[in-house]
Structure 1
Amino acid sequence: MAATADAQYAEVRVELADRPDDSPIRCAFVPLSDADVSANLRALAHPQRTVFDSTAGHRVDSVSFQPCVGYHTQDRHVVQQLDVHGQKWTFTGVFDAGHLGDATVEHTAYHLPIIVTQFLQKAIPGPSAPVPAPDTVADILSRAITSFDDAIAGDILALFPGGIASLAARSDEEIRAVINDFNAAGVGANYQKARLCMYGTTALVALVDPHHENLWVANLGDSDAVLTSPGLDGRWQFEILNDIHNGDNESEVRRVRREHPGEPDAVLDGRVLGTIAPFRCIGDAPFKQPAEFTRRVLYNLYPGIPNASQWDALLARNRTPPYISARPDVTHRRLRAAPALLVLATDGLAELCEDVPRAARASEWARCVGAAYAAGKAGPENLALWLLREALGPDTMHVSQMLTLDMDTPWMDDTTIIVQVL
């Protein structure tokens, strides 16, 4: 790794495939001034602001941060208004794909708002119809997400009349001819659909009705949703709106074990089938479909599985799928306090607050964005960027390391933050 004349060195621990012992390595970094930290962070985090109603102050600030410049972040976020018979519903969300591939997260960020719009349009008869009851909207949001997920593998199975049962009668060559439909124009529709089954993404989305009276938050995975507003004493109160769907959540572990009795490997080492951390997500068909689906379809997808041994171990445990759920938890809150701020963040933000209990870090996030909002309500400061800077810590030298390590692989998780002024 090349170092500049002004560079210093830090010993850091990173997870690399060729360093299984996680021993520290020396990496060059560039010490930055406070002003340079601010400039670099802004350049790397791509802060954005979307204003929905300037009179009411409804806006959304966002950042998507990955300091490793040679690596493309696999987080995605969405900030949109959904047109439902001329009425504007606000839809925001953060999606975290992990590090295997971004085809599914890209597909989800683009298409899920469209699917939610379609479900709302079917449930609401016209522009003058009232907003459905909160439980009804929660059900609409849940069904939209699960239907969207069902279609990922369903679109591939539809290519083979008879579904999974028909695959045994087909040769590998026949299956490859269907799913690897390359042509002079590039990859075909079947190949693009099949790739979506290879990968997965968490999803944390928020829906607000046209009158800004109701908020729904739907969650799959391990991102964080925190709602905050000022209390009577002037302090910013907070509420965590979602559970974390991973092996640290005992209720999720019990759920999976209950759904798969007699299968001790359903949860192994805190991971589903000993492999994947999120217990709920979109995509990841190998955990939701019978093993035959992966062996016959995904193993035949070009260019193939470079190292099938880990996949074989996973599939040997796959006896009674699905093991991962696409049914979201949905939380409803009536919006009474003004202002109210909603923080949606992928797990990279929580990792920056390592060893801090979830309630304590949620309290600190609420204090941080609340104070920034109160100090400059209509000002230019991006609240998501402000929260990211606070999470990186006050030590300028430490932040310099986080921003400028001379490495070709990521040394911290992708971090995406939305702060929505409701």
Structure 2
Amino acid sequence: MHDIATIRANPEDFDTAIARRALEPVASRILALDTQRREALTKVQEAQGRRNEASKAIGQAMGQGDKDKAEALKAEVAEIKAAMPRWEEAERKAASELEDLLAALPNAPASDVPAGEDEADNVEIARWSTPRTFDFAAQEHADIGPALGMDFETGAAISGARFTFLRGGMARLHRALGQFMLDQQTGQNGYTECAPPVLVRDEALFGTGQLPKFAEDQFKTTDGRWLIPTAEVSLTNAVRDQIIDTARLPMRLTALTPCFRSEAGAAGRDTRGFIRQHQFEKVELVSIVRPEDSEAEHERMTEAAEGILQALNLPYRKMLLCAGDMGFTARKTFDLEVWLPGQSAYREISSCSNTGDFQARRMNARFKPEGEKKTVFVHTLNGSGLAVGRTLVAVLENYQNADGSVDVPDVLAPYMGGVTRLEPAA
């Protein structure tokens, strides 16, 4: 959510900022609604004050035997009571329209975010490792996966498109990846492991920016709850409506959870294989920090995600997203794209974003700096550390052999019970 005081002070700057998101100027509309709300609220407050004064004066007039004055005051009070609902409704209407307008606007990009419309305008920051050279034609995971236990047909038969049934060594490798990531983020990177709910209320999704604009991308239960699209929702909302003790900052939280996305906005994309599923697992990273620490925390979080790829020896590149390709709540985002030899392309495997105080304002999450009386909104950050399914895809494609088998990365040995290679079924 945007700060209305900042918009009042710098409407032109605000319009310039959101123009980088390809949005039309909106500050004048915001300020008009804000003026309507404030004027209506002033009238309500003035009417309440006058009503209280007149009511008190009625008693005084009655005590002095001045019935005419008392009756005149009663008539005035009645007139005020009759008029107040109109002003109260005007204030509610303007406030509601203002809130809806602000809630629908994405975060403003940071000053160092490059201009651009889509992924074609993203900027490569760095690359790590050189893709492996194969002495055979590398295959995509969707081709080698079925013989190893990646059962697309059974998943579709049970649940429909974009669901997969993993069996045997494939299921174990998937579990090993998630456990390895979680151990790495907690043991080496200082994140606190959490086991949060995967069903949340409307206000939780509003707080992290999925509602109201992206409702169609979510799965909703019959009792009005929502399945989380990412553990970011549960972890970030852990500080909702709180004034956090400064000594607790920075807070670094992580969780390995199932995630659920309808993929309504991705029709026709990655329909084949395991890359874009309705149900998947992900290790999520969330940081709650002081405003002055968020830029450094963003780099730290991204490095924590990179560490998983490096430990698995998976080549990747780091991208700085342009303004037009960032998520709704982000002010700056780094994507990590892993090399998939079967596709001969880099594909996103992690997205690490600094949202500034955008989510904190929606959640009313604050802290009180030492020596100050006023509270300040925290900054929140989130990132994948990593998406387990996409990492499984990357391992299958980068560690494949000519006979259809797949070697298990060395760092996963403690999680695989002695299994060092997945062999295709006879």
TM-score interval w.r.t. the shorter chain?
under 0.3
TM-score by length of 2: 0.26
Question: Which of the two has greater helix per residue?
Answer: 2
TM-score by length of 1: 0.26
Compare relative contact order (CA 8 Å, sep 6+) and give the higher one, 1 or 2: 1
